[in-house]
Structure 1
Amino acid sequence: MAPCDGKCNARCSKAGRQDRCLKYCNICCEKCNYCVPSGTYGNKDECPCYRDMKNSKGQPKCP
C-alpha cells in the first residue's frame, strides 16, 4: 500500500464523490512529500503545499 492510500482514505471518508476525492488527494499527497492534513475537512495549515496547490482555474486542487 502506498503511503498516501491510508491518509487519503481517511481524508476522503466522508466525501460525496469518493473516487474524485481520492484521485486528487493522491496527486497532492505525492507532490507534497506525503503530507495530507488530518481529519476529513480543513486543517490545511498542517500541509502548506497541499493547501496552496491550485487547479487550472485557480481553485484549490486538494480536497
Structure 2
Amino acid sequence: MHEMSTFVLISTALAIVGISIGVMLPALAMGWALTRAMDALARQPEAERAIMRTLFIGLAMIESLAIYVLVIVLIVLFRNPLLEYLIK
C-alpha cells in the first residue's frame, strides 16, 4: 500500500507542475501575439480586419493547447493508466 500512496502523490505533483507549465506558456504566447497584433495595427490601421481575423484564429489555436494540457492532466489525476500496472 505504501507504493500506491507514493505513486499517487508523485503523479499528483507532476500533474500540478504540468498544468502550471502548460497554462503559463500559452498565456505568454497569447500576450506576445496580442502585442504583435497591436504593433501591426499601429503601423497599418487600414489592415485591421485581416489582422484581427488572423489574431483571433491564432489565439484560438493557442488556447486549444492549454485545453489539451488540462484534459491530459485530468486523465492522469482521475484515471491514471499506469495505476493498473501497480495494482497487479
Structure with max Cα Rg: 2
* Structure-2-length-normalised TM-score: 0.25
Greater per-residue helix proportion: 2
TM-score (ref. length: structure 1): 0.30
